[in-house]
Amino acid sequence: MSAVTNALKLSAENVVLGKGFVQAASEFKQKNGNEQNALVIGPTGEVGREVVKHLLASDAFAKVTVFTRRPIEIEGADASKLVQKPVDFENKEQLERDFAGHSHAFSCLGTTRAKSGKDGFYKIDHDYALNAANACKKANVENYSICSSTGANKDSMFFYTRVKGEVDDEVLKMGFKQASVFRPAMIECEREERRLTEKLAMYALPVLKMVLPKSVGARSSTIAWAMVYNSIKPAERESNIFGNADILTMFEKNQ
């Protein structure tokens, strides 16, 4: 099957940003001019693709570089700002060279044990994620945002949340000018591939949200909105961890 057939088709048009976001983007651009560039790792996943759309819609960055093996076809006024590059997460030196010249990085890299197996999951969500973060640090990227998971804890008895927690801890200790970890609960989206447990959970979601409105999940677009908005507004702390409720509150307050 050709690469064109497999291309991910996106549109940066009609992305809802909100008043707070638009103001932050305007102030960010006034302060930095047209000199800030962003890169996205894992841009074809459910959150990553939304990050790409919000970065382009924000008009805050001169260039948005995506590192992916799957080509992206995007429509919108700022589609010309999108640069696509192939990626090899095992080639650390090349990653550092490719990441140089970018001020902001967004990591949405991830897979599942069901899709990649236990070893494959660890290689992608741990090894590749840290290879990318370390390369960003060496390339002098100042602002690093990563999409993690609720319950992430390096001391967790559960493999998935332990791996996520290990990566989060390492990223926060790397010394970025600003490092932000986002830990959403269930990611609400229309997945190209959805497991049976996810399908069942989606059916139960409306009821669960009535009981725990800010703890159960967040839309992929809302998570991406929060990641981009947080990266362009003035930083209050060097390191931040945002849970599901924090993500939703940030979004609601700035519409």
Residue 110 CB contacts under 8 Å (≥ 6 apart), including other chains: 42, 45, 124, 125, 129, 147
Give the strand order in the sheet containing 104-107.
Answer: 82-85, 63-67, 37-41, 104-107, 143-147, 178-183, 239-243
Q: State the catalytic residue, choosing from 29, 53, 81, 164.
A: 164
DSSP, res 34: T
Q: What are phi and psi of 15, to 5 degrees?
A: -80, 125
Structural contact between residues 84 and 48, judged by C-beta atoms closer than 8 angstroms: no
Q: State the catalytic residue, choosing from 63, 92, 160, 233.
A: 160
**Radius of gyration (C-alpha) of the chain in whole angstroms:** 17
- 160 flagged as catalytic: yes
Q: Please state, as a whole number, how many other Cβ atoms lie within 10 Å of the Cβ of residue 154.
A: 14
What is the spatial distance between Cα 198 and Cα 8, in angstroms, rounded to a whole number? 22
- Catalytic residue list: 160, 164
